[in-house]
Amino acid sequence: MPAEQMADGAEGPGQVPPARPLDSIDHAILRLLQTDGRASIRSVADRVHVSRANAYARINRLIEDGVIRGFGARVNHERAGQGASAYITLKIVQNSWRTVREQLQALPGATHIALVSGDFDVLLLVHTPDNRTLRELVLTRIQAIPEVLSTRTLLVFEETDLDPGPDRPTELA
């Protein structure tokens, strides 16, 4: 399956495969892989009490269905030389989301982009080496996008990743 197809969870242009229901074992596998994406099939199988073949088939199904979009490392951005982080809110021209999203994806340091409701249209998370680089990113790159009407920058002073663990709730009660 092509990477871009897996990332969007789509089978073809504009088509999303029907969601298959997840059972308690699927949810347990997801929690384990979110905690340790490098866990072996054997370890996953042992911890959720299924055979290796069953664990392998379930993980492949979760990938094929677009539930698992990929595997990666959790990075300490400050230690990786990206000491300035900010959430940037954008108001954009109506119906320009796809165009704006493509341009934002190409920005260095952009790690999360969301189309949202409320007082602004887009929420963008960026990590840059310093405030000067952040300023240049906002003033010369983001505000230069024709479909961007306005921006607001919220500096991140401290952040905590909420690691999915056995003690973290996964569903609302």
Full DSSP string of 38-104: T--HHHHHHHHTS-HHHHHHHHHHHHHTTSS--------TTTTT--EEEEEEEEE-TT-HHHHHHHH
Average the pLDDT over each of 34-38, 98-102, 137-141 and give the range with the smallest value.
Answer: 34-38
Give the domain ranges of the chain: 3-64, 84-156
Q: Is residue 173 pLDDT above 90, yes or no?
A: no
Element (H, E) at 124: strand 122-128
| Mean pLDDT (the chain, rounded) | 87
Architecture of the domain defined by 84-156:
2-Layer Sandwich (3.30)
| Higher-pLDDT residue of 171, 147 | 147
Q: Is residue 168 pLDDT above 80, yes or no?
A: no
Residues of the chain above pLDDT 70, percent: 84
What is the per-residue pLDDT across 108-160, written as a single tens digit (0 to 9) for each? 999 999 999 999 999 999 999 999 999 999 999 999 999 999 999 999 999 88
* Average of per-residue pLDDT across 105-110: 96
Residues of the chain above pLDDT 90, percent: 68
* pLDDT reported for residue 162: 76
* pLDDT reported for residue 165: 61
* pLDDT reported for residue 39: 93
> pTM of the full predicted structure?
0.73
Gyration radius from the chain CA atoms:
19
What per-residue string of b and e applies to 138-163 under the rule 16 or more CB within 10 Å gives b?
beebbeebebbeebebeeeeeeeeee
Confidence of residue 72 (pLDDT cuts 50, 70, 90): confident
The domain 3-64 is placed in CATH, from the list 3.30.360.10, 1.10.10.10, 3.20.20.70, 3.90.1150.10, at: 1.10.10.10
